[in-house]
Amino acid sequence: MKNILPSYIYALFILTLLAACEDNSKSSINPNGDSELALLMREMHEDGLRTKQQILDGETPEVKVKYHQLNTADATEPEKAASAAYKSFAAYYEATVKSLLESNDEKRAEQYQTMIDACMSCHQELCPGPMRKIKRLYLSDAELAKLAGQ
């Protein structure tokens, strides 16, 4: 019995360490923390991937993310989000989303690319870190050719 007790304590210790490591693996991917705006933009990226697939599948895209919160979400760097440049980029992005949602089948891919251009323009100017990730949202030349052939 005395030999079993240390084994249980050791096992409990290991499980506690594993649980702590698991929690750390879910830490922020943003080196500056997870502001509301950072979280919103991650949602926008996921929504963009889904929208891209809908376009490729010939479906009418839906934008589920609350992109209207671009001007109200707390930012990691509030001074950037309060700038006239950011407000202009946010308004342009909202206009491109509206154009995408109102577009007909022939213009949908073009409007989607314009929406991604709006993301890229803002990030080139204000926050370049996510640009590599944003580039993956673009429809490739092969995807565009396939859509043109449909």
Nearest to 48 by CA among 128, 145, 135: 135
Q: Does 117 reside within a domain?
A: yes
Q: Does a structural domain hold residue 20?
A: no
In a domain, 13, yes or no: no
Quick one: which H or E segment has residue 6? helix 4-25
Instruction: Work out how many domains the chain is built from and give that number.
Output: 1
Query: Per-residue pLDDT averaged across 112-128, rounded?
Result: 97
Is 2 among the domain residues? no
The answer to whether position 50 is within a domain reads: yes
Whether 12 is covered by a domain: the verdict is no
**pLDDT above 50: residue 119:** yes
| Cβ atoms < 10 Å from Cβ of 89 | 20
* pLDDT tens per residue, range 23-47: 443 445 655 568 999 999 999 999 9
The whole-number pLDDT of residue 44 equals: 97
